[in-house]
Amino acid sequence: MSHEHEFFIGGQWVKPASSATADLVDPSTERPFASIAMGNAEDVDRAVKAARAAFPGFADTSVAERLELLRRILAAFDRRRDQMAAVLSREMGAPAKSALSAQVASGPNHLAEMVRTLESFAFETRRGTTVIRREAIGVCGLITPWNWPVNQIVCKVAPALAAGCTMVLKPSEIAPLNALIFAEILEEAGTPPGVFNLVNGDGPTVGRALSSHPEVDMMSFTGSTLAGIDVAAQAARTVKRVAQELGGKSPNVILPDAEIAKAVRLGVLRCFGNSGQSCSAPTRMLVHEADYEVAAAAAREAAESLRTGAPSDPATDLGPLVSRAQFDKVQRLIEAGIEEGAELITGGPGRPEGLDRGYYARPTVFGRVSPEMRIAREEIFGPVLCILTYSDEEEAVRLANDTPYGLAAFVQSGDPARAARVAARIRAGVVQINYPPLDRGAPFGGYKASGNGREWGEHGLSEFLETKAVIGDASGA
């Protein structure tokens, strides 16, 4: 990879409009290890114009042609898995074992799911002489985050390609090298010039230029709720569609008929995966008040069994947080939890013992958390779990819904009917019962401040399509 100071526009690697660069910092050492070019509005305009020029031809391609393109991308991706995993460990601190098996694997898995979706998707349906057509929406601006970068890039690019759209991607400036590899993959797979374009940069400059550009028809954004609001405000000026996957504060309702210790242990592992830097992580654990002591002991044991360390160490479970800003935010909220009177079950402020450098946070569990505490309401985005108690099922549901977010929720119960009843009452876009296997064909997205729109599978493809009604079509075709 040798394109750190170039952008991919119109099928070519090109020099940026300015000489601005930004250092990339290894979160395990706090030292810069590379730099990237930073774009501006001129770069965005050039990329959007390339996407606009490519749109008519790509929108007219057949489903078979787009399927073949996706299959070539999948094959090219498979050849770069190890390189992608190494880059992710370096730029965002993913432990070696999860960088390959989770972070990188999510890309090919979602590509394969989109191939399956496209093979059977109905772009046209007929009711008498009325034809309902689903057509590519146009030029799409894609903004992706640093926490699951490959996953989020593929969850946007794959359905956009399947729909026949063209696009401009702005990956996170904190972890952008994986996006450069992905651009090389698309180039190797023979993606037509201008269909996929990449411009690196920050949100206030490149993100706003993309969101407000009059020739962009749709914005697909994943990131914080505050940044999502700004994207929507910029996009509103040109009445473009906006699909958002934003923050979360997901409840994990453990009902009394569950295997409490097991459910708690698995809940801790789900919460602390990716060092807690997942928008759908079950960060609020709700247990019956009679089960609190068992839950607290199980949570302590699970948290203290996890090894925090260098991403390159095969034994590491939790790597560093991605940046100094993220580390400082997590430390402030841990300290707020202590100041507001939550019970510190394990962990606390500072780095784990033996780690004097790097953005490492101690796996932390708070108990007896009340709903008004900051740690119960704000998205921490670190390895911090809050345990709240409830007296009955009605209170459990109320507490689960007592959040401005609504991305995900979890329910644990030994009674399938009871679990389904509770799940139906929770206001969240995705509810998982008893930690099921991941279904990449299910729609992923949130309620309330967690955004709008859906990703994954058929619903993700639909986000990139316009709906046209042709009334009076007597052709019978």
**Is-contact 59 165, C-beta < 8 A?**
yes
| Active-site residue, selected from the candidate residues 140, 271, 279, 386 | 279
Q: Is 279 a catalytic residue?
A: yes
Terminal-to-terminal C-alpha distance of the chain: 48
Q: Is 245 a catalytic residue?
A: yes
Beta strands, E only, 62-180: 124-127, 130-136, 139-143, 166-170
- Length of the chain (residues): 477
CB count within 10 Å of CB 294 equals: 14
User: Could you give the angle at the alpha carbon of 412 between the alpha carbons of 98 and 454, nearest 5°?
Assistant: 60
**Is-contact 360 369, C-beta < 8 A?**
no
In three-state secondary structure terms, 467 is strand
Which DSSP state fits 382? S
Sign of CA dihedral 360, 363, 366, 372: positive
DSSP assignment of 392-427, as one string?
SHHHHHHHHH-SSEESEEEEE-S-HHHHHHHHHHS-
Instruction: Please name the residue ranges forming H helices in 242-372.
Output: 260-272, 292-304, 324-339
**Is-contact 99 274, C-beta < 8 A?**
no
| Active-site residue, selected from the candidate residues 91, 173, 245, 458 | 245
Cα within 13 Å of Cα(252), Cβ side: 23
| Beta-ladder partners of 471 | 130
3-state helix, strand, coil in the chain (%, to 5): 40, 20, 35
**Is-contact 306 276, C-beta < 8 A?**
no
| Beta-ladder partners of 8 | 13, 198
C-alpha closest to that of 110 among 429, 456, 458: 456
C-alpha closest to that of 414 among 188, 305, 260, 258: 258
In three-state secondary structure terms, 477 is coil
At 234, which amino acid appears? Q
Report, as residue numbers or ranges, the catalytic residues.
Answer: 245, 279
